[in-house]
Chain A
Amino acid sequence: MGRQVWNNQNCQAGAGGTVAAQRAIKRGLAIGRARAHSILVALSLSYSIAALSGAAYAASARLDFGVSTLSFPSADPDTVTTINAVENPVAVDVTISGPDSTISQLTVQAAGDLISGPDQIAIDNVGWQGQGEGFVPGPARLSKDEPRLVGQWVGRGTKQGSLRFGMDNSWDYAAGVYSQTVVYTLVAY
């Protein structure tokens, strides 16, 4: 009968185990540790490669507007058929970083119609014209149902442009102070 040896890795030789078996167990543990170490190295290596890949090819996007509020004053619909925003022209800066193949797109969507208590003015009465490289010249109109294209570019850098906003005037508008928000979204990929 062989001697029983207790292994300090919580590996217990059963009754009747042999030194050969013990050596096999130790060898197996050693192999397991080596394999585990190799796996750890591989994972670390792959993570590093992935991180480096991401850092080298990720695009970034920044959108800057010259104003945060647009104002359309009251006007006689007979003499002012289109009301210009007080803030015209509104400066827009689009800054893209990334590889030369980066595609970026700027869209706008309104959260709803112009609202004044129970009264509404359809948001598609508000439109704009764009100026600057990549900006859609228009005229285009706001929509609450779908995003509308404002501009698109290929490559990186800062694209400067401006938007001029106008609102159709009408004797049908109820008197009041109307408001609504629109969201401009810049995506670079």
Chain B
Amino acid sequence: MRKVTAVWAVAVACLALVTASAGGWAATDQQTLTINATVSAKAKLTLGVAAINFPDADPDSVPSVAATENPVSVSVRAQAGSASSVTLTAQANGDLDSGTDTIDITNVTWTATGAGFVAGTMDTAAQPAGSWTGSGNHAGTFSYALANSWDYTAGSYSQTVVYTLTAP
């Protein structure tokens, strides 16, 4: 009787040992890291040239004088709110001037290529040149033209135009 009991006790002990060994002793630890990223609104405008030139031409044969630098590349890059309106405008600082002579700046027009870029007519009031919604990188071109006329006084005219890109 005692022998049977002893054998049984050893068997139970072995079973417990095997069970314990097979139960798995993996240890774990965890750490949580919080990632924060800030994207501030920003805008960047790049024009392919700093000046455009309209050469002299016969008004009969060249009623519209194209700028020699056409097409002018333009790049608009902005980070803005996803629903924010990103706008590009052009505003002339005055008419084309040559001493006391002027050519109305509205005689200068442009056409546009590229998504979001729009054609327009130069003016001393800001004119839309492009618009987009939210962030993005946009490339296009502007091609400028000066309406020709026998009424223009001979001279060298010039004026500056300010392009403004806004990304709220």
Residues of A within 8 A of B (CB): 31, 34-35, 38-39, 41-43, 45-47, 49-50, 53-54, 57-65, 67-74, 76-78, 83, 98, 110, 114, 116, 118-119, 121, 126, 165, 167, 171-189
Q: How large is the interface on B (under 10, 10 to 19, 20 to 34, 35 or more residues)?
A: 35 or more
Contact between B38 and A59, CB atoms less than 8 A apart: no
Residue-wise interface mask of B (15-52) relative to A, using a CB-CB cutoff of 8 A (1 in contact, 0 not) = 11101110011111111111111111110100000000
Residues of B within 8 A of A (CB): 1-2, 5-6, 8-10, 12-17, 19-21, 24-42, 44, 77-82, 84, 134-137
Give chain B residues whose Cβ lies under 8 Å from the Cβ of A60.
Answer: 27
Q: How far is the CB of B11 from chain A (nearest CB, A)?
A: 8
Q: How far is the CB of A187 from chain B (nearest CB, A)?
A: 5
Contact between A176 and B9, CB atoms less than 8 A apart: no
Give chain A residues whose Cβ lies under 8 Å from the Cβ of B13.
Answer: 42, 45-46, 49
Contact between B9 and A39, CB atoms less than 8 A apart: yes
Q: Is the interface of B mostly helix, strand, loop or mixed?
A: mixed
Q: How far is the CB of B148 from chain A (nearest CB, A)?
A: 40
Give chain A residues whose Cβ lies under 8 Å from the Cβ of B84.
Answer: 175
Contact between B39 and A175, CB atoms less than 8 A apart: yes
Q: Which residue of A lies closest to B23 (CB)?
A: A54
Give chain B residues whose Cβ lies under 8 Å from the Cβ of A63.
Answer: 29-31
Contact between A72 and B79, CB atoms less than 8 A apart: no
The interface centre, meaning the residue of A49, A58, A62, A171 with most chain B CB atoms within 10 A of its CB, is A171
Bound-complex Cα distance A68 to B30 (A): 12
Give chain B residues whose Cβ lies under 8 Å from the Cβ of A184.
Answer: 30-33
